[in-house]
C-alpha cells in the first residue's frame, strides 16, 4: 500500500497516508490523539487505522495504560512491512545498507574505493548487494520500496547524474547517470540527493523528531559540510552550497584554501588539510610513525593518517587537535547564525580520537557567552553509516510524508 500513496488523488488514500505518517512519528500513539491532530471523527480514525492494520503497516504495541476503563490501543508502524536500501558514495568508501522502516540496519556492505572502482564497477557492487540481500532475507520485490543514494559531489537531480566528480581514484564518474543505470541493474526505483542534508534527515528522524524541529548536522571529511532541518523539513540546496560551511573564514590571515580565499575552515579542518599539515610537519623534522610506514612522505594518504590516529600517533593527534579547535570556532559561528536546537557531528573524523571532544568543547565555550542558550551538541552514533541511512529515509519520506 505504501507505493499507492504516491500520486494518488483518492481522499481515502490521502487520509491513510497522513495517519501512517503520524503513527510513524508519534508511535506509540492512541486513536484519541490521532483524531485530535487530524480533526477526523474517532470512529473514522479507528476505521482507517484498522485498514492500515489489515495491510500489515501498523499494529497495536500493547503498551497503552488504562485510566479506569478499557486499555487504549497504541499504534506503531510495522518496521518489516517493507524494506529500504540506503547508499552513500564517496571517494573513500561506498556504503550500502539494508534498512527496515525504522531505519534499523539489517545488513551492510562497504567498498573501499581504489583504482578498480569505476562508476560502472561501483554500481554493479550496489546491485549485487541488493540481489544478495533479497535472497538472504527473503524479501519480495514488492516489499522493497526503493534505493536512496547520497553523494557529496554536485548532481543534476533532473537527470540523476553526477555533474562533477572529485578525487575518485578511478574514472567513469563524470556525468555518470547513477539513477538510470542503477534502475536498469535492479528494476527498483532510485532516488539521488546530496549526502549531508540526508545525514541531517536521518539524525532527525531517528533521534530528535519528537522533541525538536530545528537541527544542524555538520561533517568534517574530504570536505566540510552542513545540512539543516528547519521546522521539521530537510532544507535542500539547489545551488549546491552544502560545502559553504567549509568556506567560512576563521582566520583572515590564514592558509590559502582551494577556493582561492585565505583562512577558510576547509583549509584547517578537512581531511586534505590535516594530511597536508602532517606532511608539512614531518618535513620540518617532527617525528611520526608514518615515516616508518612510507618511504616517500608525499605518498602519505588519508587512510594512512586515519590509521595513525587510531594508534594515537603524537604528531597526528597534535594536528587533529588544532584542526578540531578551528572547527569548533566555525561551528560556534554557525550556531550564532542559524540558532538550531540540536547540533550533530558526523563524518570520518568524528569517531577518531580528539576531534569531537576538542571541537565541541571549543564551540560550547563560545556559546557560554549566551547562558540562556539551550542548544544541544551531540556526536553522531552512526557516524560511518548516517548518510546511507538518510538516503534510505529519503525513499520512505518520498512515499509517506505529506508534500
CATH number at residue 183: 3.30.420.40
Q: Same structural domain for residues 88 and 150? A: yes
Shared domain check, 243 and 318: yes
Give me the phi and psi of 107, to 5 degrees please. Answer: -160, 155
| Cβ 395 vs Cβ 100: under 8 Å | no
Do 168 and 217 belong to one domain? no
Give the H or E element holding residue 82. Answer: none
Q: How far apart are CA 82 and CA 85, in angstroms?
A: 11
Q: What is the pLDDT of residue 40?
A: 92
| pLDDT score for 391 | 97
**Residues 174 and 290 grouped into a single domain:** no
Burial class (CB in 10 A: 0-12, 13-18, 19+), 131: exposed
Q: State CA 283 to chain mean position distance.
A: 37
Q: Where among 77, 92, 116 does a domain terminate?
A: 77
Task: Clarify whether residues 183 and 313 are in a common domain.
Answer: no
Q: Are residues 17 and 55 in the same domain?
A: yes
- DSSP-based three-state secondary structure for 126: helix
> 56, 77, 98: which is the final residue of a domain?
77
Residue 93 contacts residue 114 (beta carbons within 8 Å): no
pLDDT computed for residue 64 by the predictor: 62
Q: Which regions of the chain are under pLDDT 50? A: none
DSSP state of 207: I
- Whether residues 134 and 224 fall in one domain: no
Distance separating the N- and C-terminal Cα atoms of the chain:
18
Residues 7 and 114 in one domain: no
User: Are residue 189 and residue 264 in the same domain, yes or no?
Assistant: no
| Structural domain that includes position 70 | 2-77
Q: Are residues 166 and 226 in the same domain?
A: no
C-alpha span between 3 and 13 (Å, rounded): 11
DSSP structural state of residue 206: I
**φ, ψ dihedrals at 88, nearest 5°:** -120, 130
Q: Same structural domain for residues 185 and 228?
A: no
Co-location of 356 and 219 in the same domain: yes
| Number of domains making up the chain | 3
How far is it, in rounded angstroms, from Cα 84 to Cα 335? 33
Percentage of the chain with pLDDT > 70?
96
Could you identify the residue written with the cell 555533474?
A: 163
Q: What's the CATH number where 55 sits?
A: 1.10.10.10
CA nearest 218: which of 184, 185, 265?
A: 265
Amino acid at each position: 500500500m505504501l507505493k499507492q500513496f504516491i500520486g494518488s488523488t483518492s481522499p481515502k488514500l490521502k487520509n491513510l497516508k497522513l495517519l501512517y505518517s503520524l503513527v510513524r512519528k508519534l508511535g506509540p500513539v492512541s486513536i484519541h490523539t490521532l483524531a485530535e491532530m487530524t480533526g477526523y471523527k474517532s470512529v473514522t480514525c479507528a476505521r482507517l487505522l484498522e485498514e492500515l492494520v489489515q495491510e500489515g503497516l501498523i499494529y497495536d504495541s500493547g503498551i497503552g495504560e488504562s485510566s479506569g476503563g478499557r486499555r487504549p490501543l497504541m499504534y506503531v508502524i510495522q518496521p518489516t512491512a517493507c524494506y529500504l536500501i540506503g547508499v552513500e558514495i564517496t571517494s573513500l568508501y561506498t556504503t550500502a545498507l539494508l534498512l527496515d522502516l525504522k531505519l534499523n540496519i539489517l545488513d551492510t556492505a562497504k567498498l573501499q574505493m581504489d583504482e578498480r572502482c569505476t562508476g560502472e564497477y561501483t554500481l554493479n557492487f550496489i546491485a549485487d548487494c541488493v540481489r544478495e540481500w533479497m535472497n538472504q532475507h527473503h524479501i519480495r520485490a514488492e516489499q522493497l520500496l526503493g534505493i536512496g543514494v547520497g553523494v557529496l559531489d554536485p548532481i543534476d537531480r533532473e537527470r540523476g547524474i553526477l555533474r562533477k566528480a572529485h578525487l575518485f581514484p578511478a574514472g567513469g564518474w563524470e556525468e555518470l547517470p547513477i539513477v538510470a543505470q542503477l534502475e536498469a541493474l535492479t528494476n527498483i526505483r532510485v532516488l539521488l540527493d546530496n549526502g549531508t542534508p540526508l545525514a541531517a534527515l536521518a539524525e532527525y528522524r531517528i533521534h530528535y523528531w519528537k522533541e525538536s524541529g530545528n537541527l544542524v548536522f555538520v561533517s568534517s571529511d574530504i570536505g566540510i559540510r552542513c545540512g539543516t532541518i528547519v521546522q521539521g523539513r530537510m532544507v535542500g540546496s539547489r545551488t549546491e552550497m552544502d560545502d559553504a560551511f567549509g568556506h567560512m573564514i576563521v582566520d583572515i590571515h590564514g592558509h590559502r584554501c582551494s577556493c582561492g580565499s585565505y583562512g577558510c575552515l576547509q583549509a584547517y579542518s578537512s581531511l586534505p588539510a590535516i594530511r597536508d599539515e602532517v606532511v608539512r610537519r614531518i618535513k620540518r623534522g617532527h617525528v611520526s610513525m608514518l615515516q616508518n610506514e612510507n618511504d616517500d612522505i608525499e605518498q602519505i594518504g588519508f587512510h594512512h593518517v586515519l590509521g595513525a590516529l587510531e594508534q594515537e600517533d603524537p604528531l597526528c593527534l597534535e594536528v587533529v587537535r588544532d584542526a578540531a579547535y578551528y572547527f569548533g570556532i566555525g561551528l560556534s559561528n554557525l550556531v550564532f547564525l542559524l540558532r538550531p536546537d540540536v547540533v550533530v557531528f558526523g563524518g570520518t573524523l568524528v569517531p577518531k580520537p580528539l576531534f569531537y571532544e576538542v571541537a565541541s568543547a571549543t564551540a560550547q565555550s563560545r556559546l557560554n557567552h549566551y547562558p540562556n542558550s539551550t542548544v544541544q551538541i551531540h556526536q553522531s552514533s552512526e557516524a560511518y553509516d548516517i548518510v546511507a541511512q538518510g538516503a534510505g529515509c529519503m525513499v520512505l519520506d518520498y512515499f509517506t510524508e505529506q508534500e
